[in-house]
């Protein structure tokens, strides 16, 4: 049964699904638009399903196409992870790459692993909230110390500990004079990070932005350094776990505890499918320690 899915076509499909335009998707893929049209038609024929509803004014996903988006992402991730891992295995060196979010210190775990497997090369990679899970899924890292909330798709999650979160304010801000602040007092301020990372904020943000309908969206910062820079520039505030906020210190911002903010959960995640001795040992070490 030679009905293997063609990953090239799947990748093309995802580009069209994301751009909702054959023309834009084609230039993003650096191929000509007619090629893309033909490849997508072939994919639809192979799958026996219409994926896009075309019109002369643009393209939309069919229900089947919408369904295929998630599947396609999963398949491509799985494939790239397989490539990465076998390349790594081929280099012959036993290697374990561990991701960690700022403020989390995997030092003890790394040391224990190196003692137990002297020939194992242990690497550490700093992640960000956006990619802390993604990097495990596509094989760039083997395990990751993450901060909630996460989407644990297909991953094993070992909760470790929680820690309080604080708000980072510009040093000159009126609230900075207070020893502690409440969520309500922060309602009028811009949140300079993904709202999903601070679910408690969400209600505030929506009602707050309704006050100023024409206001431009607040800038988004990916790394902690960027967030602090924006805060120092008085563009708004961010919420960070205590250890993260205290790890970086600059004189023009201050941290204050916030009443009513849930503590942040730290966990170890790794792919449930994978069962190397090193990974199992690491789970053991972390669970015990």
Binding mask of the shown chain, residues 52 to 71, with x at each position contacting DNA by CB under 7 A:
--xxxxxx------------
Is residue 275 close enough to count as binding DNA by CB under 7 A?
A: no
**Of 78, 73, 125, 75, nearest in space to 271 by CA:** 78
Is residue 61 close enough to count as binding its own copies by CB under 8 A?
A: no
237 sits in the region (left: phi over 0; alpha: psi -120 to 50; else beta) called beta
The item of DNA, its own copies, none sharing an interface with residue 232, based on CB under 5 to 8 Å by kind, is none
Burial 246-277 (b: 16+ CB within 10 A, else e): eeeeeeebbbbebeebeebbbbbbbbeebeee
Is residue 18 close enough to count as binding DNA by CB under 7 A?
A: no
CB 75 → its own copies: shortest distance, Å?
5
Place of tokens 């990619």: 131
Contact 242, 164 (CB under 8 A): yes
Question: According to CB under 8 A, which one of 55, 56, 57, 90 is a site residue for its own copies?
Answer: 90
CA–CA separation, 103 vs 227, rounded Å?
15
Is residue 42 close enough to count as binding DNA by CB under 7 A?
A: yes
Binding mask of the shown chain, residues 3 to 22, with x at each position contacting its own copies by CB under 8 A:
xxxxxx-xx-----------
* Helix, strand, coil tally for the chain in percent (to 5): 45, 20, 35
Q: Which of residues 65-84 bind its own copies (CB under 8 A)?
A: 67-68, 70-72, 74-75, 78-83
CB 80 → its own copies: shortest distance, Å?
8
Which residue, 9 or 165, has its beta carbon nearer to DNA? 9
CB 78 → its own copies: shortest distance, Å?
4
CA–CA separation, 39 vs 21, rounded Å?
14
Please report the DSSP string for 86-128 in residue order.
Answer: HHHHHT---EEEEEE-TT--THHHHHHHHHH-TTPEEEEEE--
Binding residues (CB under 8 A) for its own copies: these are 2-8, 10-11, 47-51, 62-64, 67-68, 70-72, 74-75, 78-83, 85-87, 89-90, 92, 152-155, 271-274
Binding residues (CB under 7 A) for DNA: these are 2, 6, 8-9, 20-24, 30-35, 37-42, 54-59
């Amino acid at each position: 049964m030679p009905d293997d899915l063609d990953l090239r076509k799947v990748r093309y499909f995802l580009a069209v699904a994301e751009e909702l335009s054959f023309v834009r998707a084609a230039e993003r893929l650096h191929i000509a638009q007619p090629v893309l049209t033909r490849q997508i038609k072939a994919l639809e024929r192979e799958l026996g399903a219409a994926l896009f509803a075309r019109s002369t004014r643009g393209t939309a996903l069919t229900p089947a196409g919408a369904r295929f988006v998630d599947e396609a992402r999963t398949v491509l991730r799985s494939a790239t992870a397989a490539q990465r891992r076998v390349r790594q295995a081929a280099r012959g060196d036993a290697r374990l790459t561990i991701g960690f979010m700022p403020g989390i210190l995997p030092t003890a775990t790394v040391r224990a692993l190196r003692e137990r497997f002297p020939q194992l090369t242990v690497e550490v990679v700093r992640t960000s909230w956006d990619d802390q899970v993604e990097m495990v899924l596509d094989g760039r890292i083997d395990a990751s110390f993450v901060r909630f909330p996460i989407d644990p798709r297909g991953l094993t999650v070992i909760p470790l500990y929680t820690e309080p979160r604080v708000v980072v304010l510009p040093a000159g801000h009126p609230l900075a004079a207070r020893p502690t602040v409440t969520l309500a007092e922060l309602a009028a301020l811009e949140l300079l990070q993904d709202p999903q990372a601070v679910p408690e904020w969400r209600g505030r943000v929506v009602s707050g932005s309704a006050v100023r309908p024409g206001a431009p969206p607040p800038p988004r910062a990916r790394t902690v350094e960027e967030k602090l820079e924006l805060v120092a520039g008085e563009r708004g505030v961010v919420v960070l776990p205590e250890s993260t906020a205290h790890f970086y210190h600059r004189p023009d911002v201050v941290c204050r505890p916030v009443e009513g903010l849930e503590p942040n959960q730290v966990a170890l995640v790794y792919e449930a499918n994978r069962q190397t001795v090193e990974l199992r040992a690491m789970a053991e070490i972390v669970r015990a320690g």
